[in-house]
Amino acid sequence: MADKIKEAYRASKNIYDDVITQGSLLSKLYIKIFWSGTDDNEIARKVLSYIPESFLGTILDVPVGTAVFTENKWRTLTESKIICLDYSEDMLEKAKQRLKDCSNVSFIQGDVGNLPMEDNTYDIVLSMNGFHAFPDKEKAFRETNRVLKTGGKFIACLYIKGKSSLSDWLVNTILSKKGWFTPPFHTEEELIKILEHMYKDIDIHVDGSMVYFCCTK
Ligand SMILES: C[S@@+](CC[C@H](N)C(=O)[O-])C[C@H]1O[C@@H](n2cnc3c(N)ncnc32)[C@H](O)[C@@H]1O
């Protein structure tokens, strides 16, 4: 499973940014057909707006991917300490190149299911488009919660099943087979139950087959 994920992201590292940001006509068409037009750029903007402009503190960005969505935000938070973690060396390398001049940002190759960090370390854990890719979601929820300080914010966006039969079909027949997504996936109701068990003040929004939220440990 782990090798399949690394291989999938190695193979797509040069087209990833274009597809997720709808940089070409083909990727616009792909999003329009399979994702009911849900715009990842817009979701990213809403997710990042949960982090105040003047934020001072520690942030874990997991998985950072290529940092296509977080680069600009991390550049403005010069007084924050930001750790970016990803399982794929290829995706992480892209993020490193993007942010190489930012002394407030550092990088770790690792597994969200086994984070090499102390308990209660971070003020914010950000997980954009990660949970639908993580193979062990229970461990990922546990680990991201463990490293978050009490009172800290867990902010994320991810795919949920059961909202669009076309998105679900694509996820099950292509994206999961290739390793870009990894089952099992949660419904909105299942996700809310998990979050309610671990967090309070849950602000959650559904946009097509995607959900984004901010909650407090
Ligand atoms: C869809 S990308 C999202 C990247 C970025 N956050 C974004 O929104 O563009 C999913 C990422 O999850 C990473 N990933 C998959 N399994 C992981 C794991 N167990 N631990 C850490 N990262 C993982 C992949 O390497 C990939 O870079």
- Identify the pLDDT of residue 5: 94
- Identify the pLDDT of residue 66: 98
Give the span between the Cα atoms of 79 and 74, in whole angstroms: 10
Chain Cα centroid distance, residue 193:
19
Among 86, 129, 170, the mutation site with the greatest number of ligand 1 atoms within 8 A of its Cβ is 86
Among 1, 3, 4, 5, the mutation site with the greatest number of ligand 1 atoms within 8 A of its Cβ is 5
**CB within 6 Å of ligand 1 — which residues?**
5, 9, 20, 63-65, 68-69, 86-88, 91, 111-113, 128-130, 133-135
Among 72, 91, 127, 171, the mutation site with the greatest number of ligand 1 atoms within 8 A of its Cβ is 91
* Range list of β-strands (E), 6-120: 58-61, 81-86, 105-109
Residue 204 lies in domain: 2-216
Count of the separate structural domains present in the chain: 1
- Identify the pLDDT of residue 85: 98
Give the span between the Cα atoms of 75 and 209, in whole angstroms: 30
* Cβ-proximal residues to 135 (8 Å cutoff; 6+ apart), any chain: 1, 2, 5, 113, 182
33-41: Cβ within 8 A, 24+ apart: 33/166, 34/166, 34/167, 34/170, 35/164, 35/167, 35/208, 35/209, 35/210, 36/164, 36/166, 36/167, 36/208, 36/209, 37/208, 38/207, 38/208, 38/209, 38/210, 40/69, 40/129, 40/210, 41/69
Q: Evaluate whether 120 touches 147 at the Cβ level (below 8 Å).
A: yes
- Identify the pLDDT of residue 102: 97
Place of tokens 């938070």: 77
Give the span between the Cα atoms of 206 and 190, in whole angstroms: 13
What CATH number is given to the structural domain containing 171? Answer: 3.40.50.150
pLDDT (tens, 9 = 90+) of the chain, 217 residues, equals: 679 999 999 998 999 998 888 888 888 888 888 888 889 999 999 999 999 998 999 999 999 999 999 999 999 999 999 999 999 999 999 999 999 999 999 999 999 999 999 999 999 999 999 999 999 999 999 999 999 999 999 999 999 999 999 999 999 999 999 999 999 999 999 999 999 999 999 999 999 999 999 999 9
